[in-house]
A = this chain, B = another copy of it.
């Protein structure tokens, strides 16, 4: 059969990886797809780079808009990133009747509703497996593999940079700042690491996963986002002592009254497989009512793992392009006219178990005061650890694990504890998920 003609936008890490894998595995891929996947034209601001890379085997240009307007191009692969030019390019490609494959989570988390609506109207596909968890085929698993299920929740370690930093903090007993510096030296963290360490990248991804899990529009602006930059190494140690690991978890949970959508450092029982995902690896845990929990694990970033997802999308597009749009897998897993406008709940309505660390005067009644406050706020204690004060310290750390309760109850209890004369300074609070 005739080749699929692809226009590639952006020949950086992922673009270069995509080009390399498509070239190296051309035969294997066409044995599967039934036709070759051919890069017809590639665009990059750095013409020298793409000339060197493609070596005359495809046309090159530094004008990305020329590619989306090129009549020879059937599928545009957008690997430029960002919200602005990428949005214009993707919308232009759609307008021109071209299918789009993209790894751009930021773009889809922020402008996804507009982009998917445009694609739907024009009858083209926007495929985005590479936008979440790199090489792990989690979008396919959720949209197709688990289509029999009511999805109850999705929880993922979906940012490799932060997971690498957390692993280093735990393994080496170092601070966040030290671990970040190490990650930057090794290339696991960027010079400006904000998007990763503040949880924004993970929030983009869990926003997309929530939409395809529950059939709701993309609602990034309503996600609750906390990163790991304020995490204290001491809490990693206490969590370990109590049988937990701390991970930056993206979590989307369906409730009767809405959807919880949040990213924050989270204690997870170390018996769970996902708690043992270390280094820059990613993993996503999905709970469906029929299948129960399934886990998907692999490399969440990097040139070739991400290329693996981009190319899988290209093969899917090659197959689906010829079909009636009504028979394609819908962008957000559910038919566009049957998305539910379920609200994303504000964080103060979230329900989670918790971890509290407070510094308490070493005198009678201090612990009684603290536990009385929890009882008054209707919060049950699951575990309690009081460290013996070091000599001459006069104060002790108390660590409490609490049962599931509303965010508001926890904040109320913390405010009351901090008002106690026997409690010194701020109460450290982390969330805990059992993931069962």
- A interface residues, Cβ below 8 angstroms from B: 1, 17, 21-22, 24-25, 28-29, 31-34, 129, 135-137, 140-141, 143-150, 215, 273, 276-277, 288-299, 304-305, 307-312, 315-316, 319-320, 322-324, 326-330, 333-335, 338
Contacts and interface: CB of A to CB of B under 8 A. Distances in A.
Contacts of A324: 322-323
A294 to B, nearest CB: 3
A22 B22 CA distance: 39
Closest 3 CB pairs of A and B: A137-B145, A148-B311, A294-B298
B32 A316 contact: no
Contacts of A309: 145, 148, 291
Nearest to A215: B31
B308 A31 contact: no
Given A31-B338, A144-B316, A147-B33, A304 B326 contact: no
A297 B299 contact: no
23 contacts: A24-B289, A25-B148, A25-B150, A28-B150, A29-B148, A31-B335, A32-B334, A33-B147, A34-B327, A135-B294, A137-B140, A137-B294, A140-B141, A144-B315, A145-B309, A148-B309, A148-B311, A148-B312, A291-B304, A295-B296, A297-B297, A320-B327, A323-B327
A308 B149 contact: yes
A305 B319 contact: no
A305 B292 contact: yes
Number of copies: 2
A295 B295 contact: yes
B137 A146 contact: yes
Given A33-B147, A149-B25, A328-B319, A292 B140 contact: no
Given A31-B334, A322-B323, A140 B135 contact: no
Contacts of A276: 273, 276
Contacts of A335: 31-32, 34
Given A296-B294, A319-B327, A335-B32, A308 B148 contact: yes
Given A140-B145, A144-B316, A299 B295 contact: no
